Amino acid sequence: MGRGSDAHNFVNQREIIKLESYSITNKKFSGFIRYETSFLFKRGHSIALEITDAYEGCEVFINGVSAGIQIIPPFVYEIAELCISGVNKLSIEIATSLERERGKVKNASPTGITGKVYLWS
């Protein structure tokens, strides 16, 4: 079971239009990146979330409740049990490594969500 979605104090919020490595925006960033959106759901249906690629650890929250942590892509979560009928809040937190803080910026791996995100019903 994951921690509550308020566990991190996120600052410097910005709208992300294109999912790509956050290291393109900030080469020295390490820590957690949170992506947020909302979606409609009708109880009684099945729904899964798939994130095709992300670096490194991935935790998904539905309405503030953790759906779990995964570390190997593709990241697939069955989320129907956490959804309510109507509007649901989706938060995806990606934990990056500390390699940028250790001075390994030149050949650092990507950060954040670098693939696609799908809601399957």
Could you tell me the pTM of the whole model? 0.83
Band (pLDDT 50/70/90 cuts) for residue 107 is confident
Q: How far apart are CA 62 and CA 43, in angstroms?
A: 14
CB hemisphere CA count around 77 (13 angstroms) = 26
> Is the pLDDT assigned to residue 6 strictly greater than 60?
no
Q: How far apart are CA 80 and CA 76, in angstroms?
A: 13
Choose among 84, 83, 111: nearest CA to 97: 111
- Looking at residue 4, its pLDDT comes to 45
Average pLDDT of the chain, as a whole number: 85
Structure tokens at 17: 């239009």
- pLDDT tens for each residue of 10-23: 666 777 777 888 88
What percent of the chain lies above the pLDDT cut of 70? 83
Q: How far apart are CA 37 and CA 18, in angstroms?
A: 14
38 versus 8: which is more confidently predicted?
38
- Looking at residue 70, its pLDDT comes to 97
The mean per-residue pLDDT over the stretch 70-90 comes to 96
The mean per-residue pLDDT over the stretch 54-78 comes to 95
Domains belonging to the chain, first-starting first, are 22-120 (2.60.120.260)
Q: Give buried/exposed letters for 8-20 (b at 16+ CB in 10 A, else e).
A: eeeeeeeeeeebe
In the DSSP assignment, the letter for residue 23 is G
When mean pLDDT is compared across 11-15, 108-112, 113-117, the lowest value belongs to 11-15
